[in-house]
Structure 1
């Protein structure tokens, strides 16, 4: 089953049927009674039993009955697709990151507002089970030290995906921005970047590793290390020492520890949570376009000290 059979469900189309769509979006929609997967647009194959179009333009012209689209293609072509869908009066959900540049994101936000449609810049890691409880625990506490380690094997998670190594593909910030989306969601004080060191393979245009330093302007020690050369298991963790205890998020936010004790969490899944939020935004006539994680990435490139590393071969 690929879609809800509820006649009251909102018809939605997926644009870009690649790995993330097949692994996360399609299963989430199949379990969500609020939505019905009514069509796809993709050059890499569709979904059995669902009408497929080669282009978004063809889909929009043929299916005016579909009010919402979820854009799952890489970030560089996403602006043109989102603009086309908004101009056609459709609600739009954007995979992370919401654009290849900040200007694109802010332009789309303005276009959606003018068109009176919902635009949702989704950050799936914010929907991890431990993130909301972490935000609640940190509220009213003063962070003294923050350390993020986000390290994985690019060959495992992005096999053969050449676009991530091209300008706009973000390189190691493709997973690293997940950590930044959690940080900007839970940190009770505003942070800005003060320094970054970016390591680029000599044959690639985007970084394979990054070390970042942040400040709140008031003495907070905050650092992050991202690396795509990890071997021996993924590391997705965040440790925050405060004036009233320590918080640790492990497994990308799926596990939460307070002062060394693990907290029992209610995990409904990241992408089911995102689609529930998208449905609520549409019902309420609102948009949610938070560019804060992408601002940190842009600052990392602006402030970055560039190092050249060994060539990378997939």
Structure 2
């Protein structure tokens, strides 16, 4: 395929801040259309809905779905039924079961389906995976804390069923952990703090173990007010302590800086998407989403003060 003619569906904050710049910077793509009820891009064909784009718009080869998870599956099925490759923002859907439907649709339609996890493309994730592959892991601690008012302003959907609450950023940490740790792990305990006026947690404390009973603990919190966010993973091994900082863009071993890189996660996503399209493959890994589903199913819910923006 020559240049991939791409449409963005849902032009909100994440599309504006991350997807659009990554597309513009990659010569494999041309942004041919946007489908969004509330935003348009100068010089780019605009439609209020994906249906209108597919019926009336310019020909596109692929779509990037940046809409809320609750509507994404129907949009993905529609796009694939028209022969379009599909990138799904995280999480890939509202439920695990519907992702299996999408996987079947992609295979039947002969198109690429990409369930994207942008944090896996942070600069130091691959180096961390390589470093850990030759060491014996003894313990893992994940700390992912940020101010919801800064990172999700006015996004009331995040507190509704399917919005995931603090797991919206927490799933980023889980996407890194499932990428760098050498063995699968599973949840054994989850404590969730849920505001009285919300359906999803504002904080969570999780305990996992892997097949060798290595303990993995995670603390997620949306109430990191007045201080910088903390996005860190600490791994104790028989040969030192590895730390990923700044969401995976900085790596230390026993406190010594080993590697640091720019924020190019979405550039990595679009490079991956183009490669999958070129090879006629799909990538639909739901392991981070599965851990969130387990936490929401097994978690003990503790009521806390109502949340106000």
Residue 245 (structure 1) shift: 1.8
| 1:50-109 alpha-carbon deviations (Å, 9 max, x no partner) | 000011011111246201000001111111111110111100000001011101111111
Partner of 2:238: 243
Distance 1:65 1:243 in 2: 55
| TM-score computed with the length of structure 2 as normaliser | 0.97
Distance 2:6 2:154 in 1: 29
User: Given the alignment, which residue of 291, 297, 300 partners 1:296?
Assistant: 291
Q: Is the 8 A contact 2:6 2:61 kept in 1?
A: yes
Partner of 1:224: 218
Query: Number of paired residues?
Result: 308
Partner of 2:181: 187
User: Given the alignment, which residue of 41, 51, 54 partners 1:47?
Assistant: 41
User: Given the alignment, which residue of 124, 133, 136 partners 2:130?
Assistant: 136
Q: Does residue 16 in structure 1 map to residue 10 in structure 2?
A: yes
Q: Is the 8 A contact 2:190 2:295 kept in 1?
A: yes
| 1:183-203 alpha-carbon deviations (Å, 9 max, x no partner) | 000001211011100110000
User: Gaps spanning 5+ residues in structure 2: where?
Assistant: none
User: Given the alignment, which residue of 252, 256, 260 partners 1:257?
Assistant: 252
User: Given the alignment, which residue of 214, 222, 228 partners 1:233?
Assistant: 228
| 1:249-270 alpha-carbon deviations (Å, 9 max, x no partner) | 0000010012221123454700
Distance 2:46 2:71 in 1: 19
User: Gaps spanning 5+ residues in structure 1: where?
Assistant: 1-6
Partner of 2:271: 276
3-state secondary structure, aligned to 1:263: strand
Q: Is the 8 A contact 1:14 1:40 kept in 2?
A: yes
Partner of 2:54: 60
Partner of 1:76: 70
Q: Is the 8 A contact 1:142 1:188 kept in 2?
A: no
State how 1:297-312 maps to structure 2 within 5 Å: 297-312=292-307
Residue 219 (structure 1) shift: 2.8
| TM-score computed with the length of structure 1 as normaliser | 0.96
| 1:207-252 alpha-carbon deviations (Å, 9 max, x no partner) | 1000000001433121000000112110000000012221100000
Distance 2:216 2:259 in 1: 27
3-state secondary structure, aligned to 2:171: helix
